[in-house]
Structure 1
Amino acid sequence: MAEATMTTQKGFLGWVEKTGNKLPDPVFIFFYLIAGLIAISVIASLSGASALHPAEVDPETGERVLIQAESLLSPANIQRLWVDMPTTFTHFHPLGYVLVVMLGAGVAERAGLFGTAMRAGVRNAPKALLTPVVVLVAMIGNLAADAAYVVLIPLAGVIFAAAGRHPIAGIAAAFAGVSGGFSANLLPGQLDALLFGITEASVETVFGDWSANIAGNWFFILAMTFVFLPVIWYVTDKQLEPKLGKYVAGEDAPADPEDSDRPLTNEESKGLKRAGLAALAVIALWVFMTVGPGTPLIDEAANPEARLNPFYKSLVAGFFILFLATAWAYGSATGSIKGHRDVVKMMSGAMEDLAYYLVLAFAAAHFVAMFAWSNLGLILAVHGAAGLQALDLPMPVLLGAIVIFAGFLNLFVGSASAKWALMAPVLVPMLILLGVSPETTTAAYRVGDSATNIITPLMVYFPLILIFCQRWQKDFGLGSLMAMMIPYSIGLMIAGLVLVMAWVGLDLPLGPGAEVFADPAAYGIIEDGAAN
């Protein structure tokens, strides 16, 4: 492969590149934010910042409890920081969710299931439907995390070239699907576990116990898939490829086809069939536990709204079993898994890949916890909700603004979990006070987080995509890549905004048991005057 040649950008893109490159690693961004949070908490405490708690009443007076800002340098908070540090880290909700799901997904990736499934999905696609098939597989490929970038994107270039089309158009379409459609999918997966873990923590810091449903955006991300697909298809076939012109292989073209484009072996085909049967068996097991004798995944004694809570909570374990069973079934056919020791080794490898995430989670967990200790999140949420209520903005417009803000912030902070850990502690409680469910706020964030992934050089895979392009065109630079992906980003942002605003306007369910609007009383919020 050719060496990547970075070019210097000018104008707005140059400012984004220079500013972003000056930012520290997200781990240290959290540490700096903690330092700033400590200073702000001291000032807020000294100035007497406060708010009436929306969900707590003094049993003696019947009045709502007054919550005051607390200094993080108070003896009690200093003691809490040092004494509870292990608990603060290990009780960070996203940590358990992500680790469990990745134990299974890591085996599926290392066994070769994800890579083979993506190859099978695109290599025999009809020429007329090549672009939409590549895009759809790319969006589904998000379940495979890194494998989608490493396997599918270069493979798309090879397949487009073999079909007589420009390979860089194939790379662009796959990149837009994998990264621009980062949240779009047919099924919930690792990202849902990660984001809803943070959402859950943000609700609990203000309103107490609340259980996240990682399928809470299922219907929404399914709709995103079929809204984003025609956008990427149109930009690829009608805008990008005509500008690229007909590809003529030159001296810089790869001499041999990629190994990733080879036909499936008999063992791989057999493995995919076994994996399909294993997937059906796991789904059948979960259906049986939900509707069969004893209904262990339904709380028969709970009220109708809460009866399915055990089922929703079980989905993290469900995806772990699904990935593990399908991977083992595939690996046993191909020989990539010869016994249980191989499975354990692959699980260990998956945990090694999460080393950086664990460091990031340590920093994020303490930022979220200390934000809660200071009471600043609650105070900002209460006053922010009052301010937004006074503006009387239509709810679709307000959520559209969240989409745009998340997209802008994504230009500088690439990590989806890092951004949501920054935004959720204020946004989620604030919008609950306005009657918006946590699932809706999470959905709006994901749209903005996806749309600008493909135009920021701070995205970790951006240099890799550049190298994939230079494999076919040696003079392809960073500016070429960014200019190529901007129409996709604009199209996805507009489509995502329309989707969010229409979804909220029509009040459609975001997932099983997840509505757009939520009765604040369900979170213990007391209406003005009700406490007396």
Structure 2
Amino acid sequence: MTKQKKKFSFRILDGIEWLGNKLPSPFLLFAILSLLVIILSGIFAGVTVENPSTGETTSVTNLFSISGLQYIFQHAVDNFVGFAPLGAVLVTMLGIGLAEKTGLVNAALKATVFSFPKRLLTAALVFAGIMSSIAVNAGYVVLPPLGAVLFLGLGRHPLAGLAAAFAGVSGGFGANLFLTSTDAILQELTAEAASTIDPAYAETIAVSMNWYFAAFSVLLITALGTWVTDKIVEPRLGKYQGEADESIDYLTATEKKALKYAGISFLITLIVMAYLSIGPLRGDGSYLDSPFFASLVFVIFILFFIPGLVYGITVKKITNDKDLTSLLGDTMASMSGYIALAFTAGQFIAYFRETNLGTIIAYKGADFLQSTGFDGFGLILVFILLTMLINFFIGSSSAKWTILAPVFVPIMMNLDYSPEFTTLVYRIADSVTNMVTPLLLYFPVIVAFAQRYEKKLGIGTLISMMIPYSIAFLIGWIIILFIWMAIGIPVGPGAPIMYHQ
């Protein structure tokens, strides 16, 4: 890319940032979107679609009515406290916040900086983001703020570190070296949808149906994420001029001792957690369905809280219970903006779900796909673009596939594409748009983290940072996908690309 082209691409991103930042604050934006959903539900009240696989009908629920008004008032509190990321973010941040306030994060950063090859930091951060999907959505809460701190400590722009981690976590839902709960959820939905066409084939669909492609994608997304961060995002951000500071001085003797004790406590805690995962919290089912796996947010809290507490006591930043309470209070105070944002975001997500507008859009999209008459690569491209569009209206990957699988899987099977391959194409489209849609449940979380370093940062700034990743991931994945199709490599063990009835 020439210097002139870089300048042109930067100008485009600057324009997107300017336009996006003209939008109201995230708190007000979600309030406006909530009102818009209410109005649209009134306009489209009575619109009905039919699931071609089951024959069930779905209609728009009208919130612009007496019963709708009653729902809005009666569920306002439930919509707030039921906002999925709220509890996970606050619990996790209690642990991370204590580790940060006591100085453990700063000390660990110093030790990392002086021992880790700086040239590998970006790649390591993106890779960690990808692999974090093992812990479901925990990566959204843990890695972006740590990425920002690491970059700031090295004199780099903290938002570049946050963006690299965010891109890795988002891309990680379509790539991983291991099987995750996402694989299990999508497999169940895919098999159920496939059974409407071929029940015998549906029974052969395994959790590992996309593993070959997903494992290879780890290398692809790590390389692309590193390149975009170092060559596009960070150069465009320039030198950080904000007030936040993360000094990188050599560790004092007290800090070294405290870090050693914190490390020992972390190791002991990790061993205890490992024992619980295979013992009392193992459960009777698979690991992905175990009580331990369902408790990962609390596990992460403990893994940060205990070392943070040990470090704080050793450096005498925590001398009594009042000191501990004060540090935890300061942590929650720093999240006040996010808590306010979660109120309007929770209302919007709940209204959109209650009205069924997302489901209607998904079914109409499926009708459009059938009407195009495309086949081969053209069909795959249209499917990807359509799924990306739908992702701007329905943020949850499993919720989307619950709606789309019964529609798209049979359609693609009738066109000789296997259910496993259809699921893979869906995961690619879903992953590349997660990082640029404000309707992603954790998007407000990332905005709140970013505002620690740029207090006036708006949605436009974050989207303009993430668009290069989205485009690079999309192009890279499509190229690899088409090569994969041309060669005919299975996308997973026993999971062919083509379906033959």
- Are the structure 2 counterparts of residues 219 and 366 from structure 1 closer, same or farther at C-alpha, using a change threshold of 3 Å? farther
Aligned-partner SS, 1:70: coil
In structure 2, what is the equivalent of residue 260 of structure 1? 247
Give, in angstroms, the shift of residue 376 of structure 1: 2.2
Give, in angstroms, the shift of residue 54 of structure 1: 7.8
In structure 1, what is the equivalent of residue 79 of structure 2? 88
CA deviations on 1:425-469 (whole Å, 9 max, x unpaired) are: 98444433335899996775454455899xxxx978599589xxx
Give, in angstroms, the shift of residue 184 of structure 1: 2.5
**TM-score, normalising length: structure 1:** 0.60
- Conserved 8 A contact 1:180-1:489: no
Residues in 2 aligned to 1:280 and 1:452: alpha-carbon distance in whole angstroms: 38
316, 328, 333: which one aligns with 1:352: 333
Residues in 2 aligned to 1:366 and 1:235: alpha-carbon distance in whole angstroms: 35
283, 292, 297: which one aligns with 2:282: 297
162, 176, 179: which one aligns with 1:178: 162
Give, in angstroms, the shift of residue 396 of structure 1: 6.7
In structure 2, what is the equivalent of residue 247 of structure 1? none
Give, in angstroms, the shift of residue 221 of structure 1: 10
1:136 aligns with 2:124: yes
CA deviations on 1:375-398 (whole Å, 9 max, x unpaired) are: 222322333334335656779746
112, 134, 151: which one aligns with 1:121: 112
Aligned-partner SS, 1:51: strand
Percent identity, aligned pairs only, is: 26
Q: Which moved more, 1:89-98 or 1:337-346?
A: 337-346
- Are the structure 2 counterparts of residues 72 and 114 from structure 1 closer, same or farther at C-alpha, using a change threshold of 3 Å? same
For 1:431, the aligned partner's letter is: L
1:364 aligns with 2:348: no
For 2:282, the aligned partner's letter is: L
- Are the structure 2 counterparts of residues 53 and 185 from structure 1 closer, same or farther at C-alpha, using a change threshold of 3 Å? closer
- Are the structure 2 counterparts of residues 490 and 181 from structure 1 closer, same or farther at C-alpha, using a change threshold of 3 Å? farther
Give, in angstroms, the shift of residue 313 of structure 1: 0.9
- Are the structure 2 counterparts of residues 131 and 307 from structure 1 closer, same or farther at C-alpha, using a change threshold of 3 Å? closer
For 1:182, the aligned partner's letter is: F
Give, in angstroms, the shift of residue 285 of structure 1: 2.2
Gaps of 5+ in 1: 1-8, 57-63, 158-170, 189-195, 208-216, 245-251, 410-418, 467-478, 510-514, 518-532
1:380 aligns with 2:378: no
Q: How does 1:70-469 map to 2 (within 5 A)?
A: 70-125=61-116, 129-133=117-121, 135-136=123-124, 143=142, 145-146=144-145, 148-149=147-148, 151-157=149-155, 171=156, 176-184=160-168, 227-231=220-224, 260-292=247-279, 295-298=280-283, 300=284, 308-388=289-369, 397=381, 401=385, 427-433=400-406, 434-435=408-409, 445-450=430-435, 461=450
Aligned-partner SS, 1:71: coil
Give, in angstroms, the shift of residue 108 of structure 1: 1.6
- Are the structure 2 counterparts of residues 401 and 66 from structure 1 closer, same or farther at C-alpha, using a change threshold of 3 Å? closer
Give, in angstroms, the shift of residue 79 of structure 1: 1.0
Residues in 2 aligned to 1:328 and 1:221: alpha-carbon distance in whole angstroms: 38
1:69 aligns with 2:57: no
Q: Which moved more, 1:67-76 or 1:228-237?
A: 228-237
Give, in angstroms, the shift of residue 139 of structure 1: 7.1
Gaps of 5+ in 2: 1-8, 130-138, 173-180, 193-209, 410-418, 439-445, 456-460
Residues in 2 aligned to 1:307 and 1:10: alpha-carbon distance in whole angstroms: 43
- Are the structure 2 counterparts of residues 487 and 317 from structure 1 closer, same or farther at C-alpha, using a change threshold of 3 Å? closer
Residues in 2 aligned to 1:431 and 1:484: alpha-carbon distance in whole angstroms: 29
- Conserved 8 A contact 2:150-2:161: no
Residues in 2 aligned to 1:264 and 1:13: alpha-carbon distance in whole angstroms: 40
